Amino acid sequence: MIKKRESAVTVHVTGDTTGDPFHGVFAFKVTQSQSDRFREDALRREYIGPCPAGMAPSPETQAGAEMLAAINVRLMSTPPSWWINSRNGLDLEDSNILISVYNKIMEEVLDAMNLRQKEAETAKTEIKQHAETITKTE
C-alpha cells in the first residue's frame, strides 16, 4: 500500500512577463483530507469573489483561482520567499510561474494516484487468484 503522503518539487523558471528568475522548493501534501478539499473550494471562491448572475468569471480567472487554491491548500512548509512576498502567488505578474508550480505539484499527485490504482489492480488480481485456489482445493 502506498505510504507517500507528501512530496516536494523544485521550480526553476524565468517569468514570461518580468524576465525575473524564480527558484525554490515547494513541499506539499500528495493526498488531501475532506477538510482540505473544502478549504480548497472556499479559497477558490474567495479568490474569484462575488459573481453577479450571468457574470461568470473569465476562464483565465477561473483557472488561476483553481491553481492558486490547489497549491496553497497543499503546502506543507514554508514556500520560497518570492511566493510569500507575492501573497502566496496572488501578486505574481508572470502567469507561467503559477502554471509551472501547479503543473509540477499535480504531476506528483497524478503519479501517486496512478501508483495507488496499480496497487489496487495488483491486490484485486491476487485476491482473485487466492479465491480460485481456495475453490479448487475444496
CA gap 65, 68 in Å, rounded: 5
Instruction: Indicate whether 1 pLDDT > 50.
Output: no
Q: Quote the percentage of the chain above a pLDDT of 70.
A: 96
CA distance 116 to 109: 11
For residues 75-89, give the mean pLDDT: 96
Phi-psi region of 54 (alpha: psi -120 to 50; beta: other; left: phi over 0): left
Element (H or E) spanning 42, and its range? helix 34-48
Q: What is the pLDDT of residues 88-125, one digit of tens each?
A: 999 999 999 999 999 999 999 998 888 878 878 877 88
Q: Of 31-35, 80-84, 127-131, which range is least confident?
A: 127-131
pLDDT digits (tens, 9 = 90+) for 38-51: 999 999 999 998 88
pLDDT at site 3: 57
pTM exceeds cut of 0.85: no
What pLDDT does 114 receive?
83
